[in-house]
Amino acid sequence: MKRDGSGGDQSGGAGNSGGAAGPEGRPGRGPLVIIGGGEDKEGERTILREVARRLGGGKLVVATVASHAPEGYFDAYRRAFQDLGVTEMEELYVNERSETADEAKLRMFDGAAGVFFSGGDQLRISSQIGDTPVELRVREIFEAGGVVAGTSAGASVMSDTMLVKGPNRESYRIGDLHMAPGLGLIRDVIIDQHFAERGRIGRLLGAVAHNPRGLGIGIDEDTAVVVEGNRFRVIGNGAVYVVDGHGVTHSNIAEAEPERALSIHDVRLHVLSTGDSFNLAERRPIFLDETRKSSQARTRAAAS
């Protein structure tokens, strides 16, 4: 495996603050909507509707930083969000890292209720805005309870260690992965996207084999996880795959020659669909009766 940085830092990825809770992380204050790419922008728009609901009529900053050619991205999201009640939107794009101190760009975040990272190249997001005034403004919104959403590359960059690239083939081969620090808004997980559509189970297993402490989360297209505290809920049309290496008894990741197929024993896999929930701290799905009790408790608390 090639590493373009040191991931898994407990200080929180490319920045210095903690984020939403992972298996060992602390809760952040705002929700994360982490999307596997290919979200519906014209029909029911279940996922974008969830983002809009979380904004509560507030302003949305759409960060198209991940794209080397961002033309058209913002217009597509503006059309998709407008009749969902999101009428105030700004596009944030930086060509060079030096632009992240530009006052006009930083003012875009004034009064924002959320930030949406579009797709492209996740390494471009972390390298251009990581540990800059722009990242600080994103974190300020998140810590104040604002929603942070990301799709495709914008999903991968949410974690403290992110997958940058790796082949889409069924069996992981030693040395195939490139990983780097992400923004660390959610900790101790590794996120992959376009998951079933691009056959990425092998590379997610490889990522977990490198660091079994972290949960691997693979998200299909037009599917998202909504993270609040130590839990997430699945929405959308596809599945979410959670790879847990905590109980692994053997792998050949450290000893095998490059290009040899991965061997890993006693890895655990959960497959979740819309409406399912998962407890990140306990590393297990939340059954329906638990979810219902939690919802009832929140209703009682709101009424008191």
Point out the residues that are catalytic.
152, 170, 194
**Residue indicated by tokens 């509560």:** 56
**Three-state SS sequence of the chain:** CEECCCCCCCCCCCCCCCCECCCCCCCCCCCEEEECCCCCCCCCCHHHHHHHHHHCCCEEEEECCCCCCCCCHHHHHHHHHHCCCCCCEEEECCCCHHHHHCHHHHHCCCCEEEEEECCCCHHHHHHHHCCCHHHHHHHHHHHCCCEEEEECHHHHCCECEEEEECCCCCCCECCCCEEEECCCCECCEEEEECCCCCCCHHHHHHHHHHCCCCEEEEECCCEEEEEECCEEEEEECCEEEEEECCCCCEECCCCCCCCCECCEECCEEEEEECCCEEECCCCEEECHHHHHHHHHHHHHHHHC
Q: How far is CA 171 from the centre of its chain?
A: 24
Using CB atoms within 10 Å of the CB of residue 131, give its burial: 0 to 12 exposed, 13 to 18 middle, 19+ buried.
middle
- Report how far apart, in Å, the C-alpha atoms of 184 and of each of 16, 221, 242, 246 are: 8, 22, 18, 21
| Six token digits for residue 43 | 């029909």
CB atoms within 10 A of CB 291: 16
